[in-house]
Amino acid sequence: KKQVLTGIKPTGRVHLGNYIGAIKPALELAGNELYQPAYFVADYHGLTKIHDKEEMNQLSRGIAATWLALGLDPEKAIFYRQSDVPEIFELSWILACFSPKGLMNRAHAYKSIVEENLHTGREADTGVNMGVFTYPILMAADILLFQTEIVPVGKDQIQHVEIARDIAESFNHTYGETFTLPQYVIEEETAVLPGLDGRKMSKSYNNTIPLFEEPKKLQKLINKIKTDSSPPEAPKDPDDSIIFSLYKEFATELQTEEMRNRFLTGIGWGEAKKELFEVMNVHLEEPRERYNELMASPDKLNEMLLHGAEKARKKTRPFLEEVKMKIGIIHS
Ligand code: TYM
């Protein structure tokens, strides 16, 4: 079976961008017998930003509950918290020793903080902790430790997967074929889902629609999606509308076709938003209920995650030993 792996970091509530860009495609792969999924809560990646005990705990549980509420089968998948698998951090150090600093300097997330700092007259590295700087190395460890072949992600993570390949190649070059080179898979159409303001939907832009938002608030958020001022009767381009992009993720094919036609012949934005809310709410009602139940039973959640970590470590421990033998860290 091909190893598929992806993670979500608990820096905010799971939003529609996470769902459409990564979780939905990952769950589709999980339903296919040809793949072995490993899906996880990237809590130590979250620690680069979240420095509050309660928040960390709550957000991590939220991510775990989301996967399960959407139907991930923890018996079939390896489903775990990153922090429960210490091999990842050991490998992360090993990989750090094969990661040129310049490669980290070029990582988008770090680079954009530096650019913003310089732009506003601050020192380049203001607000950058070493976790932020070495973020891609930990992510490479996540991926490479599982000998991952496929990484379903949104567009913003492509560079990270490429960095993981670079690091793997560098190691393989020195010690011979060891790490599998991972490949990202992207849903072209929704690789970057826009948020309320039209920029990429992102926790850091504060423009997200949380996946399991309560219906009333969900409706309010949908009403906030930025639209142009064309009148209701004006024809609208469905392929240039966030509302339509979201609609088709939740609607049936038939509904989607009908909505496409209504856009082309003219539909009021208010009406389109109402239809979007309806279709989302129908689709998300049950998972939302399951999510709320799971959030109310932290012990059950914890048990599942610990069980998942055991499964993960069965796979990762022997492989890490192999890696250590290759570099000459041999204790017997
Ligand atoms: P994170 O937590 O920021 O986002 C989780 C997933 O959601 C995708 N995504 C989007 N896709 C489309 N449109 C958007 N607006 C949008 N916003 C977010 C992201 O691309 C991602 O796939 N570094 C990762 C977490 C991680 C990871 C890993 C992923 C840690 N280790 C190993 C894969 C493999 C991150 O910050 O994702």
State if residue 10 touches ligand 1 by the CB under 6 angstroms criterion: no
* 3, two tokens: 């190893």
- The CA 13 to ligand 1 mean position distance, Å, reads 13
Measured CA angle at 8 (ends 195, 145), to 5 deg: 145
Who contacts 295 (Cβ-Cβ below 8 Å, separation ≥6)?
61, 62, 65
State if residue 3 touches ligand 1 by the CB under 6 angstroms criterion: no
- Give the residues of the chain that fall short of pLDDT 50: none
CATH architecture of the domain with range 212-292: Orthogonal Bundle (1.10)
Where is the binding site for L-tryptophan, in residues? 142
- The CA 7 to ligand 1 mean position distance, Å, reads 7
State if residue 12 touches ligand 1 by the CB under 6 angstroms criterion: no
Q: Supply the residue whose CA is at minimum distance from atom 19 of ligand 1.
A: 154
- The CA 22 to ligand 1 mean position distance, Å, reads 7
Task: Check residue 331 and give its pLDDT.
Answer: 80
Q: Where are the alpha helices (DSSP H) in 70-176?
A: 87-96, 101-105, 108-119, 130-133, 135-145, 158-175
- Which ligand 1 atom is nearest residue 156's CA? 20
Domain coordinates of the chain in residue numbers? 2-99+134-192+298-327, 212-292
Task: Check residue 46 and give its pLDDT.
Answer: 98
For the domain covering 2-99+134-192+298-327, report its CATH number: 3.40.50.620
The ipTM assigned to this model is: 0.99
pLDDT of 53-97, one tens digit each?
999 999 999 999 999 999 999 999 999 999 999 999 999 999 999
Task: Check residue 172 and give its pLDDT.
Answer: 98
